[in-house]
Amino acid sequence: MNVEFVALKPYIRDYVFKMSRRTQIIYPKDIALIIFFGNIQCGSRVVEAGTGTGALTTALATYVKPSGRVYSYEIRKEFIETAVKNLEKAGVLDYVELKNNDVTQVIEEKDLDAVVLDLATPWLVVPHAYSTLKGSGIFISFSPTIDQTVKTVEALKENGFVNIETIECLVREMQTERGKTRPETLMTGHTGYITLARKALK
């Protein structure tokens, strides 16, 4: 077609933005903070819920591999089917165990490094998270509304978590050109609140 183009190997963010979606995904700006504040690294054992499209799952699995594991809970089978395809395409399915189970009822794994949640009622998971996390383990919840966040923080306090904090990430791109540099007219503003907490060492 007589058009020049540049081919580049895809990064994690490319897989996340281009994957097949049946649900809304967490934006890369929030995924980045979850990875960093969650101390997610090679060898980490992480429970995640809900799986949804598998965007956050893909990022978590990329960082825990090759010796770690992501246990991802999802109650809807059709979402799991989509997530499997997306995880395969990103090359990280081998580091994920997908579970068609309700995380608000039980977390089957023990001695976890982190519990990461993106679901409507994270406060219902808090007691299970506390009992399954290692000492100093990290709880992280992403919620779009402040009402969800307040209920989650109250549950964290009631269940003995420490270092509780809630943050929000706003990213504004810049139009950079000599004589015309300014903030972009449109930006991705509020996407959600990230609530963090730690289980104290005994």
Q: What is the pLDDT of residues 56-102, one digit of tens each?
A: 999 999 999 999 999 999 999 999 999 999 999 999 999 999 999 99
Residue 95 lies in a domain: yes
28-49 residues labelled b (16+ CB within 10 A) or e (exposed)? bebbebbbeebebeeebbbbbb
Q: What is the pLDDT of residues 4-23, one digit of tens each?
A: 999 988 887 787 777 666 66
Residue 79 lies in a domain: yes
CB 23, CB 57: distance < 8 Å: no
Domain span at residue 126?
Answer: 12-199
Q: What is the pLDDT of residues 160-175, one digit of tens each?
A: 999 999 999 999 999 9
Residue 150 lies in a domain: yes
Residue 109 lies in a domain: yes
Residue 39 lies in a domain: yes
CB 32, CB 54: distance < 8 Å: no
Q: What is the pLDDT of residues 25-43, one digit of tens each?
A: 788 899 999 999 999 999 9
Residue 5 lies in a domain: no
Q: What is the pLDDT of residues 127-143, one digit of tens each?
A: 999 999 999 999 999 99
Residue 2 lies in a domain: no
Model pLDDT, residue 103: 97
Confidence label for 201 from pLDDT (cuts 50, 70 and 90): confident
Query: What token pair was written down for 114?
Result: 């982190």
CATH number of domain containing 103: 3.40.50.150
CA dihedral 24, 29, 35, 36 (to 10 degrees): -160
Residue 144 lies in a domain: yes
Model pLDDT, residue 189: 85
CB 15, CB 86: distance < 8 Å: yes
Split into its structural domains, the chain has a count of: 1
Question: For a pLDDT cut of 70, what percent of the chain falls above it?
Answer: 97
Helix (H, G, I), strand (E, B) or coil at 9: coil
